């Protein structure tokens, strides 16, 4: 997959979060904690699987807690992909 800008990545992660949680995309703010969207240690696993497959990176479930917003999480994915 081609290199992405941070804002493209935030959009992509937001879209997948919206699909998984059935929330309207406008409600999925990149700066709110995952828990705001009802995401937790159970349903994050399937979300991470979808993201792994779309982005071609390995995502450890602990990362979900290390980077608790779409913005910080996306920034971290960019560092993974560049290394």
Partner 1 sequence: MTKLWDPYGTGNRPNPYPMYDRLREVAPVYRSQSGDIVVTGYQEVKTVLLDHETYRVGNRYEWIERQVRYLENREEDLTAIMAAMNSFLVQMNGHSHKTTRALIVDAWDNKQVNHIIKNNIDDLLSEVDGEFDLIQDFAAPLPVMTMANIMGMPLKDYQFLKNQTSNLIFSLDMYTSFKTLVRINEAAQALIGYFNDYITYRIKNPSDDLTSKIIALANQRDLGLTNDTLISICIFLFMAGEETTINLIGTGAHNLMLNRDQLEKILNSDQTFDDAIDEALRFESPVHLAGRIANSDSTLAGIEVKKSDTLTLCIGAANRDPRQYPSPHLFDIGRKAKNHIAFGAGLHFCLGSWLARIQWKIAIKELFNRFQNLDIQSEPEWNPMLSIRGLKSLHVTTNQ
Q: Which residues bind partner 1 (CB under 8 A)?
A: 41-43, 45-46, 48-49, 52, 59-62, 65-66, 68
Q: CB of 61: closest distance to partner 1 in angstroms? A: 4
Which residues, at least 6 apart from 82, have a Cβ–Cβ distance to it below 8 Å? none
Q: CB of 4: closest distance to partner 1 in angstroms? A: 22
- φ/ψ of residue 40, rounded to 5: -150, -170
Nearer to partner 1, 60 or 82 (CB): 60
**Rounded (10°) CA dihedral 64, 55, 21, 69:** 40
Nearer to partner 1, 5 or 45 (CB): 45
Q: CB of 29: closest distance to partner 1 in angstroms? A: 20
Nearer to partner 1, 27 or 65 (CB): 65
Which residues, at least 6 apart from 5, have a Cβ–Cβ distance to it below 8 Å? none
Q: What residues are paired with 63 via a beta bridge? A: none
């Amino acid at each position: 997959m081609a290199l992405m800008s941070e804002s493209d990545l935030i959009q992509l992660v937001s879209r997948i979060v919206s699909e998984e949680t059935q929330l309207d995309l406008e409600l999925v703010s990149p700066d709110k904690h995952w828990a705001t969207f009802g995401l937790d240690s159970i349903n994050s696993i399937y979300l991470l699987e979808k993201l792994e497959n779309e982005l071609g990176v390995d995502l450890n479930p602990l990362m979900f807690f290390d980077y608790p917003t779409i913005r910080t999480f996306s920034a971290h994915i960019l560092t993974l992909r560049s290394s």
